Structure 1
């Protein structure tokens, strides 16, 4: 029994979907439940769904290490419209925050982008597996930063939902007025159906090929950049008490000449104020 064209197309689509993978970390801050969409997807997962549209349906966001944040597009994905927009930036910023880390400004996020979506828009079609909360569409490019309080106040509704990327094919046909068909007509219909089926299969193959070509970057995106740390205090050991019989306790010439200043109470080097130190001058 030959396989019908709709069943064959569904099989091909399932194969393509099986190759796709979307993954994101959990939120570690329980107070961020307000940011979840109606499907109970956290902002990290919603961002992964959106960014995956330009990456052949595959996007893996790894969990942040302590004192890290998510960086913007760089390298081959500089022109990636799925990431160079405020919607994904807002979601990624919330993903930073819900892991108890800070986030970067929009200008820093989009610094390497060769194109930016105008206003608070996502320039691609929202995939059917997720729903984008309303707060993600706040135009943060105006003030150049995601605002947690403003996002929480905006809420999740109305959400933006996706639609199926492939329109189902109707299999209904018009009823005929006679119950008799010639063998020639059946053969012609079979040939025509085969041609149409081959064309549809070729179209699906071309569609998958185009999607794969768009996936130019690594599926492991948004690796965390480390925050700049303040300078560490210099180690200061306990000095020996002055002992006239122990030359190692004598003040050094560099110390007496002021070449090296003593450490202050903060542990950092302090500038000289030119006052008399009470030590004999040479």
Structure 2
């Protein structure tokens, strides 16, 4: 079951310590890798815009309901990490794939097409999140990046990567062996257990206090007047996120009785410069999502 608190704690751990570990060996962030995979079913062209504050990426809808490159756990894991890298929350897998048709859904832990050239998919992207229904940053850290899946005509690992929900220890199934390390039971003394319980309680209390302080600071910032300077790529708050639709806004039709629909007179062209360090170009064009600040590939972390 999806838990917002667990998602928040997972996010804090991911952002605070191991954001760089989400990059593959080509130094591509999860957003860029997602764009490569999604472009396979979109004539090689796909873009993901920079998230606005308190926004997150939503799942396929409309014509994308039959898109096999989006209706799978691999892309879901990557786009969830893309959310996290921008300081945003992410949705459960059941919500992401809600509109996907039965024929479009790939088996858990599998990407339905060969990995395209130019990218490498990290191993943690193949975790089966269909059971837990939520991407877990801690589990992704434990599984790690290697071995990566490259464009060699394969769809992913030969076995499905599963993670125990109680211990978050990475395990594999289907290969006849398990990488789970078994713990040895010790019954000589209860002192260790008692000490561990005390330490765990202290750490837990400190973590809860830190989360509470984080929420208070974020809420105070939200009440202050917004800055006139637009900051791209900073992500949103975890409190009340807003879904970011993957559809194009339909222009309003001309209505003689409505002055707001009258055509505007042409104006001289204006050239806007953009900081290239905030853009990742995977293809020359992009029109899948409405955003004046878009990543033709994926947003930088």
* Structure 1 length-normalised TM: 0.49
Higher relative contact order (CA 8 A, sep 6+): 2
Which one has the largest radius of gyration?
1
